[in-house]
Amino acid sequence: MTRATRADIHLDALRHNLVAIRKRAPGSRVLAVIKANAYGHGIESVSRALKDADAFAVACIDEAMRVRSAGVNNAVVLLEGVFTPEEQAQAAANNFEIVVHCARQLEWLRAYSGTPLKVWLKLDSGMNRLGFKPEDFRAAWDALQDMKGVDGTPRQMTHLARADERDIGFTTRQLQVFDELTANLPGEKSVANSAGTLAFPETHRDWVRPGGLLYGVSPLDDSHGIAEGLLPVMTVSTELIAVKRLQTGEAIGYGGQWRAPEAMSYGVAAIGYGDGYPRHAPSGTTVLVNDRRTALIGRVSMDMIAVDLREQPEATAGDPVVLWGRGLPLEELANSSGTITYELLCGVTQRVNFAVHDHGEAGGSRNKNKKAG
């Protein structure tokens, strides 16, 4: 019998979340971000399930080719652009759109003589990551106007750095910089990431670029996906593989950092940091056993965790344990562990058994046991 640790991917929840995003930004088209293997959910199954998205966004051409290999023909935007001149022809042949964010990409495009490409010109409005600085942005725009390799009017975009903190001042300044430089330029515009889509309607513009929202998690410090009308797409679960007893004062796990305050039952569950559960999750972190809340006790090991069963004396080996997802928001684990939801979603390892469920297809339910991707 295979190890019980699993990640269930619910594509009906994914489509629900796309509808919820459209309601949040009714005047915008949706550029669905599916980079990093669709945040760990499986880029092929996610792109097929989200064919109603207006376009997809990935980090690189290799990810974009996986979308095409899945039989999905939606437009795909390469958020980091191309990494070599040779990739431009490959991008054009597959209907990929490219972000141009630096001088060398401009030069590659200037020298390009193949099928014209749709281009997004990126402004660095304060993130200080990718994009042209404000003082260089207009020159980059002017340069694109003379290039035969550019198809139509370039779109303009920027990226919000602190919208997840609901930082009104910083986000407002970024938006002001963007508006000052693009107000008189033709072409569609995109500013809002997931946090902007939720917290700053004024950033919605022609396109919104949701990532985490699609998968049912909120990027905001003070919120979680369910409260925002979203459904978790991934549920990570396992089972108890042993139920044991501790006597008062006995320690558990590496380092013996947690000691029993009284004689008590505890369970050992088959999951650990080798599966992507965060090693730094502290004692007291919530898990579900038999759909009831209880607490992690002791250090997380590579393959196992221990959980408090004082409130469940009837628990036994084989009982289900949920680490996050349906019934337990991932945001709780992220906050407890000092990390973010995106890292946890992307960090589920390949030894976890993935099961993809689709109740929205014609012909009824579908369940595929497979690895992510």
Catalytic-role residue among 35, 118, 122, 189: 35
Catalytic-role residue among 133, 244, 254, 370: 254
244 and 316 in contact (C-beta within 8 Å)?
no
Residue 134 CB contacts under 8 Å (≥ 6 apart), including other chains: 123, 124, 125, 177, 181
Rounded to whole angstroms, how far apart are CA atoms 257 and 270?
20
**Does 254 qualify as catalytic in the annotation?**
yes
- The DSSP result for 226-248, as a single string, is GGGT---SEEEEEEEEEEEEE-T
- Cα of first residue to Cα of last residue in the chain, in angstroms, is 23
Token pair for 247: 């006597």
Rounded to whole angstroms, how far apart are CA atoms 172 and 130?
19
Rounded to whole angstroms, how far apart are CA atoms 348 and 373?
12
Rounded to whole angstroms, how far apart are CA atoms 294 and 272?
17
Residue 145 CB contacts under 8 Å (≥ 6 apart), including other chains: none
For 332, list phi and psi in degrees, rounded to 5: -65, -45
9 and 234 in contact (C-beta within 8 Å)?
yes
Catalytic residues: 35, 254
